[in-house]
Structure 1
Amino acid sequence: MAGRVATSFVGKTAQRWDKPAGAGPVTEADMAVNSLLESVLRNARPEYGWLSEETEDSEARLSNETVFIIDPIDGTRSFVEGSRTWAHSIGIAHRGQITAAAVYLPMRDRLYTAAQGRGAFLNGVPITVSGVTALDDAAVLATKPNMDPKFWPRGVPGFDRAHRPSLAYRLALVAEGRFDAMLTFRPSWEWDIAAGALIVTEAGGTCTDKAGRPLMFNNPHPTLNGVIAGGAALHGDVLGALDA
């Protein structure tokens, strides 16, 4: 349903504007999907709190044990450019932990899902992270600024770097085993990470902040201290390379 709403807009001609403080673009499609999801999900679970990129945040959610964490369109720039690599990202957090998740790419017909303790799936088929264990042998999703030597006291690793604009999709690709790891050292909004983080862990991987600490959601300021995701051994190799 969300995919049909989003694809009813033409990315390059959809009305768009820039958020304050350089927070990036938003389009009428983002807002339409947000309205749809809020109506459907909150009517279904009125006792849940709500955190979405496109809804003004409220401290009221902090009093809810269970919260929807939503990015109506993750990768809005990609959507505007007419690319196919944007996604809907939906997570449910209970007492700070993600318990159910979906990442859907309507233009690629790819639906990634996970529920706590039940595994991860792509279009209903189980998925697992890759078995690569050495960082220099890995294919890693990361933006170019993450390769700055200041982050790598033991030297910049020789892994193959690639990029996708949607953080949720990057995490899903790691869960699927198409890439071995993903990392971002910038503060990351919870709605970009929530769903993908559970999909990675349910696919057998490890997903933490950039210091190796567990991810906690529904924070008063809904950001995380970067993200590192991959198979357990590879995740440890990344942390080792970052540790001065």
Structure 2
Amino acid sequence: MPATDLALLVEAAEKAGDIACKYNGPDAKRWDKPDGAGPVTEADLEVDAFLKAFLTSARPDYGWLSEETEDTSDRLSDRNVFIIDPIDGTRSFAEGSRTWAHSLAIATDGVVTAAAVFLPQREMMFTAAQGAGAQLNQSAVYVSRETELTSATVLTARPALDAKHWKSGQPPAFRREYRPSLAYRLATVAQGQFDAMLTLRPSWEWDIAAGDLLIREAGGHCSDRTGQPLRFNNATPQLNGVLASNLTLHQNLLAHLNPDGPGLAPL
């Protein structure tokens, strides 16, 4: 990873924020993607076009994977790949909420090495580079030290509490909170604001890649729903759910999960 990769992502994220914030979310033109894949707005598309032009001109030998760009197999032969969600939390953006984010990552040989998650309307820039720790607005952040599930606050959607996902037929007695952006959920766990994040749905790589590195560099552990390490730039760019927290809490949650529980529809 070139030493300047993180600086490039930060610059791109800041410029993306300038573009997105030109729009008033509720007034932005909006479409529904085919096959129930969720909404997209004109802001998503403008940010995506900018990021692709800006980032690939700076790193022409890096592959490209983005939620709003038609995927091709070309990236599979690239050692380094940009993994981008131009606006993570499009529904929130379109509703006028401030909890949407730009999620930018670079994966090298399937492992994320640089990441930026930027919430421009909250002035929060989360960053991480492999081996250099995780930061919020240039100050170091660390995952929570909470180890007891009964005292933990877990960011997860309500369907994850369904009995079929848990060995005992019910989830442990943790407190549940929710945030609409997966990238933001992971970032808030990396900063220790919440103790864990759990999604049992098949999850798109662009929602998770940047947050995976934030968690790991903040001293935490990030895996799929079965405990396997996350690998990126897959032919089908989806992961088998995500579990993120400090290592002890991760192990405690994993011990309660039913590894054979049915997945849910993709986000």
- What's the counterpart of residue 38 of structure 2? 24
In the alignment, residue 225 of structure 1 is paired with which amino acid?
Answer: N
- Range with greater deviation from structure 2 (145-154 or 98-107): 145-154
Could you tell me which residue of structure 2 aligns to residue 228 of structure 1?
243
Q: Distance in 1 between matches of 2:81 and 2:56?
A: 10
150-159 or 177-186: bigger deviation: 150-159
In the alignment, is residue 46 of structure 1 matched against residue 60 of structure 2?
yes
Could you tell me how far apart the structure 2 residues matched to 1:239 and 1:114 are?
25
Gaps of 5+ in 2: 1-14, 260-267
1:110 shift after superposition:
0.2
What amino acid maps onto 2:183 in structure 1?
A: A
Q: Following superposition of structure 1 onto structure 2, how do residues 5-20 of structure 1 map, counting pairs within 5 Å?
A: 5-20=19-34
Matches within 5 A, 1:118-197: 118-154=132-168, 155-197=170-212
- Structure 2 residue 261 is the aligned partner of structure 1 residue 242: no
Q: What corresponds to 1:81 in structure 2? A: 95
Cα distance between partner residues in 2 of 1:168 and 1:3: 15
Write the distance in 2 (CA, Å) between the matches of 1:103 and 1:156. 30
**Contact kept in structure 1, 2:88 and 2:183, CA below 8 Å:** yes
Identity %: 60
Residue of structure 2 equivalent to 1:37: 51
The equivalent residue for 1:115 is: 129
Separation of aligned partners in 1, 2:47 and 2:225: 31
Structure 1 residue 137: deviation in Å? 1.1
Please, what TM-score do these two structures have when normalized by structure 1? 0.99
Cα separation, 1, equivalents of 2:68 and 2:177: 28
TM-superposed CA distance for 1:187, in Å, is: 0.1
Counterparts of 1:146 and 1:242 in 2: how far apart (Å)?
A: 10
Tell me which amino acid in the other structure corresponds to 1:65.
R
C-alpha root-mean-square deviation of aligned residues, in Å? 0.7
Letter in 2 for 1:89: S
Q: Give the TM-score, by structure 2 length.
A: 0.90
Query: 1:157 is matched by which residue type in structure 2?
Result: P
Structure 2: how far apart are the matches of 1:197 and 1:208?
Answer: 8
> Following the alignment from structure 2 to structure 1, what is the Cα–Cα distance between the partners of residues 74 and 149?
42
* Aligned AA (2:152): A
Is the Cα–Cα contact under 8 Å of residues 164 and 258 in structure 2 kept in the other structure?
no
Aligned-residue offset at 1:152? 1.2
Counterpart-to-counterpart distance in 1, 2:152 and 2:258: 19
Partners of 1:243 and 1:191 lie apart in 2 by 25
Q: How many pairs align?
A: 244
Question: Displaced runs of 4+ in structure 1, greater than 2 A?
Answer: none
For 2:206, the aligned partner's letter is W
Q: Secondary structure at the match of 1:186?
A: strand
CA distance in 2, matches of 1:137, 1:225: 26
Per the TM alignment, residue 31 of structure 1 is displaced from its structure 2 partner at its CA by 0.4
2:113 equivalent among 79, 88, 99: 99
State the 1:161 CA deviation: 0.3
SS at match of 2:201: coil
**Following the alignment from structure 1 to structure 2, what is the Cα–Cα distance between the partners of residues 81 and 243?**
35
2:87 alignment partner, SS class = strand
1:243: how far off? 4.5
